[in-house]
Amino acid sequence: MNTTSVLTDLRAAAQADARIPAATAAGFLLLGSMVFLFRRTTQQDDSGIVKLPDWASYLTAWSFFTKRHDFLFNGFAKTGQDLFQFRFLQHTVVAVSGEEGRKVFHNDKYLDFTQGYQILLGGAPRLEQSSQADYVPENMTWFNKNVALLFSKERLADVLPSLLDDIHTSLSKSMPQKEGRIDPFRNVYDLIVQMTIRMVSCRSLSNDPAAVADMWKYFDIIEKSATPFSLIVPWLPTSATRNKEKATTDLYMFLVKYIEQRRNSTPTSDAFDVLISSGLDNQQIVGFAMIIIFAGITNSSVNACWILIYLAAHPEWKVKATKEVHDLLASYSNPVYANEPLHKRLATIPIEAWESKMPVIELALKETLRLTATGAALRRNTKADLPMAGKVVKRGWFLAYSAADVHLNPDIYSNPDDWDPSRFEPGREEDKKQAYAFIAWGGGRHPCSGMKFAKLEIKMIVSLFLAGFEYDLVDAKGNPPKQLPVPNINDLQRASPLGDPVYLQYKKIVD
Ligand code: HEM
């Protein structure tokens, strides 16, 4: 799910546009398939970028959605080049690898972020045919300005105790006994959902579990509707697209009810109040909240799970990280709170310490992200033909750069499949070997604007686990696992675990 699609869907929900009749759509699909299937194959053009055969762009589109990493990796292997181009539906996409291409990809100001992700909607305009003067700069500024307001240090400090309450409540529900076993990929996800909704909405919604569950039902439908088929032919009225339209409208109406309530109440530090006083209308506020929820939840929850797993599998790091949390509690906790439950004591650690005094957990998270962040970032060249690594990316073409190009590259990271946070420590600093060698938070013109919040929520979950429980990894039979699962690098959304499942076998040690 990406920011552009959410805004587009919202516009649709708010304005109720006309629908293409099913028969017309099916006719277009057939005609389109024939045109694409019988397009003449050619291997060269004046860009100098080698081409994959373009006689079956719907098949290419299918692998680009279902096995993106393998598709890109095989393309580089087949062509032996740092850049290759392929047809994706009606568009040309350049797959980029190597340091030179990576620098341009992250820094050129005419490589448009929003239009890049629009390719996944199949609805990007035909830029080749319009004049260069038509270029409208991407508009992430208003969005990032409001992210900065919501995730300011003051607001994070303000909401920190409520977030820790959320973790405590959620863990008490999913881990009710003194001892037990949980599947982190199920339980941690719900927890991040709750925390994110708190960060972007208002108390009357986030304090009401039934309302959070209702809201999540709509999101779930929208997320599940993003099947490869519905993304490749988004205009075809399938049941997934119909469900998505209805859920988007329902979600819009649901959130507007709360926003209107806030408009008629005394302002507080709740996110809706902050956005209202920043001058946003209802549609903008809903769009903003939805983008944050889609951008934040999946990445944050999956990484919170993986870091717990990697720490459990590397006891020396788990011991160091646990000591770090105890040391922070000892330095900051007020003796008045000595008999309070753990989450209340953690709430007395100031935001500055969460941000800058957790070097061990910070390293562990960085290494976790290196292994899970292997997806492709997308852009579109909106201005003049762009020189890249001795070749030319034409105006209107899309670009895809996979983070696996650096994160799993043995020339940059020794034994890249191993989880080893010390590779970032002074003396080794493997991520400094090449430009943009660590891009799990993006880089250049589009660094992640949710990074501070994402780090904070992951550190809070890890701290509650490490100081509150003894836990180990077990397999389905309760034995130490023979092998660790690995992140599925072809999973575009979740870096889901591949291999036999593992569980966290826990014993509560403090309340
Ligand atoms: C572990 C959690 C997260 C990871 C690993 C992550 C990763 C990334 C990456 C790699 C990019 C750059 C994408 C590109 O270059 O195409 C990015 C951009 C972005 N992220 Fe995150 N993100 C996380 C959490 C969040 C959260 C919680 C938010 C909520 C605000 C968020 C909001 C954004 C936005 C708005 C951008 C685009 C920034 C721009 O274009 O200026 N992210 N993120």
Give the H or E element holding residue 180. strand 179-182
400 lines ligand 1 (CB under 6 A): no
Q: Cα–Cα distance between 370 and 417 in angstroms, integer?
A: 10
377 lines ligand 1 (CB under 6 A): yes
DSSP state of 440: B
Q: Between the CA of residue 61 and those of 193, 231, 236, 460, what are the distances in Å?
A: 31, 10, 16, 39
What number does the ligand 1 atom closest to the CA of 303 have? 1
443 lines ligand 1 (CB under 6 A): no
442 lines ligand 1 (CB under 6 A): yes
Binding site for heme: which residues?
A: 448
What number does the ligand 1 atom closest to the CA of 196 have? 27
What number does the ligand 1 atom closest to the CA of 457 have? 27
139 lines ligand 1 (CB under 6 A): no
Q: Cα–Cα distance between 28 and 296 in angstroms, integer?
A: 36
Please, are residues 406 and 399 in contact by the beta-carbon 8 Å criterion? Answer: no
Please, are residues 431 and 418 in contact by the beta-carbon 8 Å criterion? Answer: no
Question: How wide is the angle at C-alpha 174 spanned by C-alphas 169 and 180, nearest 5°?
Answer: 130
Q: Cα–Cα distance between 49 and 105 in angstroms, integer?
A: 16
Residue nearest to atom 31 of ligand 1 (CA): 450
295 lines ligand 1 (CB under 6 A): yes
Question: Which tens digit of pLDDT belongs to each residue from 9-65?
Answer: 443 433 333 333 333 344 444 444 444 443 444 466 899 999 987 666 667 777 888
Residue 130's pLDDT is what? 43
301 lines ligand 1 (CB under 6 A): no
83 lines ligand 1 (CB under 6 A): no
402 lines ligand 1 (CB under 6 A): no
Q: Cα–Cα distance between 133 and 278 in angstroms, integer?
A: 31
300 lines ligand 1 (CB under 6 A): yes
Within 369-465, strands assigned E span 376-381, 386-388, 391-393, 398-402
Residue nearest to atom 37 of ligand 1 (CA): 448
DSSP state of 507: E
Of 77, 144, 70, 81, residue with least CA distance to 114: 144
DSSP 3-state percent helix, strand, coil across the chain (nearest 5)? 55, 10, 35
CATH topology of domain 140-508: Cytochrome p450 (1.10.630)
Between the CA of 326 and the centroid of ligand 1 the distance, in Å, is 30
115 lines ligand 1 (CB under 6 A): no
Binding site: which residues?
A: 448
Residue 220's pLDDT is what? 84
Please, are residues 104 and 386 in contact by the beta-carbon 8 Å criterion? Answer: yes
Between the CA of 6 and the centroid of ligand 1 the distance, in Å, is 15
Q: Cα–Cα distance between 308 and 191 in angstroms, integer?
A: 14
Please, are residues 72 and 400 in contact by the beta-carbon 8 Å criterion? Answer: yes
Tokens of 403: 């983070």
pLDDT beneath 70: ranges in the chain: 1-44, 54-58, 119-140, 226-237
449 lines ligand 1 (CB under 6 A): yes
Please name every residue paired with 83 in a beta bridge, in sequence order, or none if there are none.
96
441 lines ligand 1 (CB under 6 A): yes
Q: Cα–Cα distance between 331 and 261 in angstroms, integer?
A: 42
Between the CA of 138 and the centroid of ligand 1 the distance, in Å, is 16
440 lines ligand 1 (CB under 6 A): yes
Please, are residues 351 and 459 in contact by the beta-carbon 8 Å criterion? Answer: no
Residue nearest to atom 1 of ligand 1 (CA): 300
SS (H, E, C) 462-506: HHHHHHHEEEEEECCCCCCCCCCCEECCCCCCCCCEECCCCEEEE
Please, are residues 436 and 444 in contact by the beta-carbon 8 Å criterion? Answer: yes
Residue 290, classed as helix, strand or coil, is helix
Please name every residue paired with 87 in a beta bridge, in sequence order, or none if there are none.
92
Pocket test for ligand 1, best of 149, 448, 451, 453 (most atoms within 8 A of CB): 448
What number does the ligand 1 atom closest to the CA of 138 have? 40
Tokens of 510: 């403090």
Within 58-113, strands assigned E span 83-88, 91-96, 111-112
Of 221, 161, 228, residue with least CA distance to 195: 161
Residue 306's pLDDT is what? 97
Residue nearest to atom 41 of ligand 1 (CA): 446
276 lines ligand 1 (CB under 6 A): no
Residue 17's pLDDT is what? 30
Residue nearest to atom 19 of ligand 1 (CA): 448
Domain regions of the chain by residue span: 140-508
Between the CA of 299 and the centroid of ligand 1 the distance, in Å, is 9
Q: What is the dihedral of CA 302, 305, 306, 311, to 10 degrees?
A: 160
296 lines ligand 1 (CB under 6 A): yes
Give the H or E element holding residue 31. helix 22-37
Q: Cα–Cα distance between 5 and 122 in angstroms, integer?
A: 10
ipTM: 0.99
What number does the ligand 1 atom closest to the CA of 403 have? 10
Q: Cα–Cα distance between 365 and 158 in angstroms, integer?
A: 24
Residue nearest to atom 18 of ligand 1 (CA): 448
Q: Cα–Cα distance between 269 and 427 in angstroms, integer?
A: 44
Between the CA of 427 and the centroid of ligand 1 the distance, in Å, is 29
Residue nearest to atom 14 of ligand 1 (CA): 377
